[in-house]
Structure formats: C-alpha cells, structure tokens
Copies of this chain bind each other. A is one copy, B any other.
C-alpha cells in the first residue's frame, strides 16, 4: 500500500511475528500503522464462548487496523499472525506526518478503506439474509478477486480451511463441509483430494 521507501523515510520499523503471535488485542488503543511485508495476518473476534469470527485476512503489501487509529478508538478485534510474518510498524505520529506531507497517500488510504467497506457490505448482506451455499460461494468469489488465490489447471485453488471459511461466513465447520459437498454436486466447484477449486 505505502511504499517501503516512504515508510522507512518516516522511521517505520520491521518486526517479525511467529505463528499465532498476537500483533494487537481487542480493547487496546492503537499506537501504530501496520503493513504486512510477508506472511499472513488475520483480524478476528472471539465471543463469550470462544467462537471466532474472522474480520479479514491480510497478505503482503496490505495494511490493517487503521480505522481505530484514525478514530482514537479501541481495537474492536485482535490481529494475529497466521504464519510467520514480517510487518512494518509506523508510529501514529509519524504516520500522521507522512499523510500530511504526502497527500497522494491519503487517496490510497481512502481507496483501501473503500475496498474493505465494500467487502463488509457485501458479506453483511450475505450473512444476514442468504443461505449457506450463497454465502460460501460469495466469499470464495470475493477471495478470487482479493485474497491471493492461485490459478492452476484445475481452476482457482481456494487455500482456506473449512474452518476459516466458517469463521469468515458465520457458519460452523460441519455446515461448511456439507455446503461445499453440495456445491460440488451442483458442479459449481471441484474438490480434488480435499482441496477446493473454483
């Protein structure tokens, strides 16, 4: 999103996180701008009985956690490294300075927030009114456009586990498994040794 050169010019530092390390926690106040260099980060909530909801998954060059930073509000979710990951951290004050001095970056930020808002609008409507097959398919099709799914001879490989799909759509694993089987039977996607292709 923001070029590494620019970030370093404003004293951003690179930090490494191990698998399942917490990057920030729900309820805390934001102190930094975060941008993935490598690896995979998820933002998620846990309800009272431990059930997870994944707000989004972020890959290289993507930033996350800006809304509360701009609003001086507590984080509404946790950020966790799904794999070993390297992240740029830029302090809030330096980030704000960067924005003021580089108006074109504001436009980039706007586009990025707009993109995420668009995704959330679509998924909110799906999750509230649509049946499991519709929800799962919408997520997969969005993922093809915006997550880093790779295409091979079988189609796009949906490299999410059934559990992740459930946590992103508000469905339980068993329901996702059954839904994906039903979608395969209908011919809208393929399962080739347990992996899902579209």
Contacts and interface: CB of A to CB of B under 8 A. Distances in A.
Contacts of A71: 111, 114-115, 118
Interface residues of A, number: 40
Contacts of A120: 117, 120-121, 124
Interface in A143-198: 169-170
A89 to B, nearest CB: 19
A153 B128 CA distance: 35
Given A45-B125, A120-B124, A121-B55, A114 B111 contact: no
Interface stretch (A12-20, A33-41, A102-110): A102-110
Interface of A: 45, 47, 51-53, 55, 66-71, 73, 76-77, 99, 103, 106-107, 109-111, 113-118, 120-125, 127-130, 169-170
Return the 3 tightest CB-CB contacts between A and B, nearest first: A128-B170, A67-B114, A106-B106
Given A53-B128, A127-B170, 4 more contacts: A55-B125, A67-B115, A69-B114, A120-B120
